[in-house]
Chain A
Amino acid sequence: MLLTFIIEIFFLLGSIGFIWGLRLMSSPDTARKGNMYAGIGMILAVIAALIMPLEGTVSNNYAWIFAALLVGSIIGYYSAIKVAMTSMPQMVSIFNGLGGACAVVLGLADVLHYYDGTKVVDTLGFFTVLLTLFIGGVAFTGSIFAYAKLEDLIDDKKVTLPKHSVINMIMLAGLLGLGAYILMQGEAIGMEAAIIFLVISLIYGVSFVAPIGGADMPVVISLLNSFSGLSGAAAGILFDSQFMVVGGILVGASGTILTVMMCNAMNRSIWNVLIGGFGGTSAIGATATGGTVKEISLNDASIQLYYSQSVIIVPGYGLAVAQAQKICKEIDDQLSANGVEVKYAIHPVAGRMPGHMNVLLAEADVPYPKLLDLDEANSALSSADVAIIVGANDVVNPAAENDPGSPIYGMPVLKVWNAKSVIVLKRSMRSGYAGIENPLFFHDRTKMLFGDAKDVLSKLNSEIKSL
C-alpha cells in the first residue's frame, strides 16, 4: 500500500515536472531550469515504472531492462553531444521517428498477446491498439524519410508520383476500411490483418512525406513531432498510465501549435501544404519584373554599414548553409563598437525547423535580445538605416504584400524595403525555394552584393576592419 502510494506520487510529480518545465520555457532565462525539471520528472517516472507492484505474472527481467536503458542512454547522450546545431532538424526528425517506432513496438506486443489469448482486449481497447500502430507507424517512417530529405539523400521530384495526393487518399481510406473490418471481426480474422494494417501505415508514412519538401520542411517536422507525442499518449491508454497520457498529449499540443504557426507564417493551410502547393509549376508563370539591378562594391557597403545609426541583419537559411553565423557576429561586434545599433530580423520559417535560426545565432554568441521576431522586426525596419539580407529570399519578397497574382501573396514577410537602404547578399539572381522572382532586387533602395555568403561576409569584415 505504502509502496503503491509512493509510486503514484512519483508519477504525479513526474507529470508536474513536465508541465512546470514547459511553463518555464516561456523565457530564455528560465528555460534551462525548465528542461531540468522535465528531466527530473522523467527520471522519477522511470524509477517508479521499475519498482511499481504489478498484477499477473511478474518476472521483472531486470537484466534486459537495465541493459536496454544503458544502451539507449549511451546512444542518446553521444548523439546529443556530437550533433552540429545546423543539423538540429535532422536530429529532431530522427527522435520523432524513434518515439513513433517505440509506440509501434508497444502496439505490436499487444497485438501478439491479443491473438495468442494471453491478453483480453475489448473492441475499444483494440481500437486504441490500431490507433497506436497507425500514428506511431506514420511518425516512424515519415520522420525517417524526412531525415533523408533534410540530409539531401533524396531528390523530392523523384519520389513524387503522378496524382500522389490521390494515392495517399486511397491508402488512408483503405486503412480506415481495414481498421473497421478488423475491429468488427475481432479474433476471428487472425493476426495477419493487423500486421497488414501496420505495414500499410508504415508505407503511408513515407508516401505522405514524399511530395512535401523544401521550404515546407518546418511544417512537416512540427506535424511529425505532434504525431510522435500522440502515439505516446495512445500507448499510454494501452498501459493505463496517466503519466504517459499527460506526456504524450503535451507533446501533441506542442507539435500542433508549431504546425499551425508555421502554416500561418507561410499563409497556407495545412491541407495546402500536405497536398503540395507551390511545386515547380508556379515558378515559370511568375511575372518577370525586369528593371535594372544595381550592384554595390564591398568598400561602399562597408562604409555605408560602418557610418549608419542602425543596421538590421536578415539571415536566411543560406547563411546557415554557408556556416557564416560567426563572421556575421564579428561584423556585428565591429559595428556595435562604432556605436551602430545592430539587430537581427528573424522570419518564423527562416531555417529548416521552427526557431532554427535563433539557435544558430545563439551558437555564434549573439545575445537573444538582439533577435527580433516578425512584428518587432517590421516596426524596427521602418526606422533602420540599412537592412542587410544574407541568404534569405522569399521571406523578404514585396510581392507577398502587393502582387495578388503571386503564389506567396498574403504571406507575412519582413518589410525590408521600408529601411532607408537595402543590401542583398546573394550567390546569383536565382529565385528562392518557392521559385518566385523577387521584385525587391530591382527596388530603388536595393543594392546587390553577389557571391558566397561566407566569402562576401569575411571580405566585408576585413573592409570594415581597415576603415
Chain B
Amino acid sequence: MNNLAYKRETFRDDYTYRNSPAAIRRFPFPFAEDHYMYSVNIEQHQPGAPGSIVEHAFDIDEHYVSECKDKLLTLAQDKGRYAALPHMMDAQWDFLELTMESLARDYPQLFTLTKDVDHWTWRNRPLEIEDSFIFGDASTLPLEPFDYMGRQVQGDFVLLDQREGTLFADAGFITSQADWSLAFDIGMSWHEWHGPVPQVEKMGIMDRALKFLMSLQQGSPVRRLNWTMTINPRLDTSPEHFPEWGPDKLTVTPQNAGEKAHLRVELQSMFRLPRSNAILFSIRCYLISLEELATYPRWAKRFHRVLKDLHPDLLEYKGIKVYHEAVLAWLSQHDDGAEIAAGTHPG
C-alpha cells in the first residue's frame, strides 16, 4: 500500500468512514474458531505478507489522512488525551526515532528522514509537514516529541516505564480508545490499569502477559489482536465523551445493524525502546461494518457464532449487551449453520 489514495471521510457526526474492497480484504479478522475467550495470544511482530496490515512495523492505510485529522479534533476538545510524566522524556525521543525511522524506511514515497548527526529533517508528504530539529533537544520541535509523532501515526500509543517489578503507564497519546481514560489511568501499574478487565484475573492472564513483556528484547517486537464492537465508525469512544456516543448504542435494530454495528479490532504491538528501556505499547484500531464484513460469508458466519455464546461478563465489559440481540438477528441471516474450517482468512 505504498501509493495510497487517501479517503476523505469522517469518524463523527455524519460518519462517512467506509472501507474499500482492498481494505476489507486485509481486515484483521480475529476469530480463528467459533468460540472466543481471552488468551495470551502474543506472537512475534515480524514483517508479514506484502499488502497485509503487518507488512510493516506501523501500518499506514487509506484512512491515514482522515484519521490524523480526527486525532486533532479530539485533542482540541480534550487536552488530557496526551500526557507524559516528566521522567519519560528519553522514552519520548525513543518513540520519535522508532516511528520516524520505520515510516521513512517502509514508505519512502510518503515520508523522508534525513540526518546530519543530531540535525534531523522530517518530511511527511500526506500531512504536508516538514520540520528540522536537533534530536534530543525538545525546544527545537513545535511539540513534545511524543505528541509530535503521535499525531502523525495512526493508532494510540502508551509508553510503559519498567520498575519495581512491573510496568507503569507513564505517558500516552490516546484518541481512539475503546472506553478507557488516559487522564485517569496515567501513572498506574500494569495490574491497576487492567483492573476492570473481567475474567482475566482468575485465568492468570495478566500475570503471564506482564512476565512476558518485562523480558521483551530490543529488536524483537511482539503483537496481538484484541477486539470489541462500536456503534457507528467512531474512533473516539472514550469515557470522557461517553455522553456523545452512548445514546447511539440504543439505536441499533435488526434492520440497521449491518450499517451501524462495527467490529473494532485492535492490532496491539509492543516494542522495547533502546535509551529509556521503556516499552512502546501501540494500539491500532481497525473498524469494519457488519455489511462490509459480510462481503466474506465465512466472516459473518463466524462472528455470529462467536457473539452468540460470548461470556456474559465480556458482553457487559465490551458494552455489547444493549444491542446484542439486534446484532445477532442481523448476523443470523448470514449463517446457514454449515461448518467452517479453522482460520481467520477471508475467502
Pairing of A with B: no
